[in-house]
């Protein structure tokens, strides 16, 4: 992926790509994002969903805490009405505290990419810090699986609809990018043949 696009992802998701400057002895992210530009939107969308899982519980807790502070200042009693009642400030506070406890159970460590690359014509996105909660772990796995499945039908080079092509080396490309790749390979093969020098003839000594 072009450095410009990689930098956009690194700047937008600094926590997910926090290992990008670590040495190769600690992470494979030192090699950057090793796939074509066409998968930029897939990776961008995936990272957005992953970071939401990390950030949302904290944001929800902060929101309920603000509401608790507001209700403590109001300190309003319960208001009885013909069709029911409006809860008192204390009742609302107790409800918000319950919501905070629910959100605490959803808190997970920061997810960090350890390698992002192309393999066998599809995206591979490897993480460290998988959550222990089964429900959230299932969401993380589902997001990654969906992103990888989208890469099977998205041209790695330009992002247009594509399909898997090739034999020993598999690529996911649209028709136009496949034609360009084939032409480039043919040109390189022709140049390689021209550079080959004939072996000198060996003379037999009688």
Of the candidates 8, 7, 18, 12, the one whose C-alpha atom is nearest the C-alpha of residue 112 is: 18
| Annotated domain spans of the chain | 3-151, 163-195
Q: Report the 10 Å Cβ neighbour count for 24.
A: 9
Distances (CA, A) of 16 to 11, 23, 40, 71, 150: 10, 16, 15, 36, 20
In degrees and rounded to multiples of 5, residue 110 shows phi and psi of -65, 130
Distance CA 189, CA 186 (A): 5
Q: Give the model's pLDDT for residue 192.
A: 72
Phi, psi of 37, rounded to the nearest 5 degrees: -65, -25
Contact between 25 and 60 under an 8 Å Cβ cutoff? The reply is: no
State residue 82's pLDDT score: 81
**Residue 83: its pLDDT value, please?**
84
User: What pLDDT was estimated at residue 182?
Assistant: 84
Per-residue model confidence as pLDDT tens for the chain (206 residues): 999 999 999 999 999 999 999 999 999 999 999 999 999 999 999 999 999 999 999 999 999 999 999 999 999 999 988 888 889 999 999 999 999 999 999 999 999 999 999 999 999 999 987 777 888 889 999 999 999 999 999 999 999 999 998 777 899 999 999 998 888 877 777 777 776 645 455 444 44
The beta-strand segments (E) located in 52-137 are 79-81, 84-86, 112-119, 122-128
Q: Which residues share a beta bridge with 69? A: none
Q: Which two tokens stand for residue 57?
A: 């519980």
Give the Cα separation of 134 and 111 in Å (integer): 15
Give the model's pLDDT for residue 1: 94
Cα–Cα distance measured from residue 60 to residue 69, given in angstroms and rounded to the nearest whole number: 14
Burial 118-134 (b: 16+ CB within 10 A, else e): beebbbbbebeeebeee
- Beta-bridged to residue 125, according to DSSP, are 116
pLDDT of residue 188: 77
Q: How many residues does the chain have?
A: 206
CA distance 134 to 124: 22
């Amino acid at each position: 992926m072009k450095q410009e696009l990689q930098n956009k992802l690194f700047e937008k998701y600094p926590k997910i790509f926090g290992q990008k400057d670590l040495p190769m002895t600690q992470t494979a992210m030192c090699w950057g994002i090793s796939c074509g530009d066409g998968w930029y939107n897939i990776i961008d969308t995936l990272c957005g969903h992953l970071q939401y899982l990390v950030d949302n519980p904290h944001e929800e807790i902060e929101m309920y805490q603000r509401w608790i502070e507001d209700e403590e200042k109001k300190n309003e009693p319960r208001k009885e009405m013909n069709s029911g009642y409006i809860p008192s400030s204390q009742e609302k506070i107790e409800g918000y505290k319950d919501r905070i406890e629910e959100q605490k159970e959803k808190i997970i460590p920061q997810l960090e990419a350890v390698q992002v690359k192309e393999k066998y014509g599809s995206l591979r996105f490897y993480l460290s810090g998988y959550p222990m909660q089964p429900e959230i772990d299932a969401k993380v796995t589902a997001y990654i699986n969906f992103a990888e499945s989208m890469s099977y039908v998205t041209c790695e080079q330009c992002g247009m609809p594509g399909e898997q092509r090739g034999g020993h080396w598999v690529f996911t490309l649209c028709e136009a990018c496949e034609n360009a790749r084939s032409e480039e390979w043919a040109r390189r093969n022709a140049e390689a043949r021209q550079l080959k020098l004939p072996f000198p003839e060996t003379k037999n000594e009688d």
